[in-house]
Amino acid sequence: MAAGVNLVVVGSVALDTVETPKTRRTDLLGGAASYACAAASFFSQTGMVGVVGTDFPEEFKKIYNRFGINLDGLQICEGKTFRWAGQYSGEDLNDRRTLSTELNVFETFSPELPDTYKNVPFLFLANISPDLQLHVLDQIKNPRFVVADTMDLWINTTRKSLDKLIGRVDMLMVNESEARHLTGETFLLKAAKGLLAMGPKYIMIKRGEYGSTLFSKEKIFLLPAYPLEEIKDTTGAGDTFAGAFMGSLARGQKVDWNAIRKAMVYANVVASFVVEEFSVEKLAKISLSDIEKRVDRYKEIVQF
């Protein structure tokens, strides 16, 4: 692949309005692809596949550039950028309510990969329709490790395509309620077994403030979240987790249980940074060495 891109992320790019009990922020850089690419960029050369409208602010492209994100796969279409507005309540921001969604250019988005991405080894299919995820997957010649996310909407509306997709990825990365919804199992271990039976070699369950759990057919690995004294905005935390995970994995030589566990440590730590500010603002302020320092601190907190 050209341009040294070794990880491609496909997902939404959005302008977000976020309300928390303390603050309201408008026109923030958002969307799963923004968070995942920013997080991955600390570790790997990351290419973004997404779409924005002609209203997409030039300053946000500059932010992407400062992260070193390759934008060959970012389409600019006539019209407005996807917009999302959400409200968080509770001091720990546990309740999220979507106030509005304007799909705009995202409505007719068909992700076409530039040739330079088609031999990429690592692919993260963030939460978009399973048909689009499959369309992207079909364009990659011989991917080494493919991870997909999804959401309740697709579980309810396009289950057939979603099942097909899940059968073709190396890892499904979903949150706890999605894992339950997909399998009808309340117990996480049973849900994970059900998901493994659908095809992926690995299942990663994101559990927000409670961390994350990795499953293979033989093994389990659990990480609690890095404990924080205050969080400002949890938007994009799961996508940041996924991006840092994929970036860290793409940086290494091997993709095995140990490499995946190590990538999960970085995923937890980078996600712990992103929630300390709105949008990707905190990620823009830190370096890999800040991440490494927190990894060391994290080890003290969770290793015995």
Taking the C-alpha atoms of residue 221 and residue 192, their distance in angstroms, rounded to an integer, is 12
Nearer Cβ to a second copy (58/229): 229
Residue 203 C-beta: closest distance to a second copy, Å: 13
Nearer Cβ to a second copy (55/91): 91
Nearer Cβ to a second copy (224/252): 224
What tokens appear for 250 in the block? 């793409």
Residue 264 C-beta: closest distance to a second copy, Å: 8
Give phi and psi for 80, each to the nearest 5.
-100, 150
Residue 44 C-beta: closest distance to a second copy, Å: 20
DSSP label of 279: T
Residue 21 C-beta: closest distance to a second copy, Å: 10
Taking the C-alpha atoms of residue 254 and residue 171, their distance in angstroms, rounded to an integer, is 15
The answer to whether 225 and 268 have CB atoms below 8 angstroms apart is yes
Nearer Cβ to a second copy (155/222): 222
What is the sign of the dihedral through the CA atoms of 67, 73, 77 and 81?
negative
Is 73 exposed, middle or buried (CB count within 10 Å of its CB: 0-12, 13-18, 19+)? buried
Residue 235 C-beta: closest distance to a second copy, Å: 18
User: Over the Cα atoms of the chain, what is R_g?
Assistant: 18
Residue 255 C-beta: closest distance to a second copy, Å: 16
Nearer Cβ to a second copy (146/225): 225
Nearer Cβ to a second copy (65/258): 258
C-alpha 46, offset from chain centre? 13
Segment (H or E) for 212: strand 212-215
Nearer Cβ to a second copy (83/180): 180
Residue 69 C-beta: closest distance to a second copy, Å: 28
Q: Where are the alpha helices (DSSP H) in the chain?
A: 32-40, 58-67, 130-139, 152-157, 159-166, 176-183, 188-197, 237-251, 257-274, 288-302
Give phi and psi for 260, each to the nearest 5.
-70, -40
Residue 204 C-beta: closest distance to a second copy, Å: 14
**Which residue ranges make up the site for a second copy (CB under 8 A)?**
90-92, 186-190, 210-211, 213, 219-224, 227-230, 261-262, 264-265, 300-304
DSSP string spanning 140-168?
-SS-SEEEE---HHHHHH-HHHHHHHHTT
Nearer Cβ to a second copy (78/230): 230
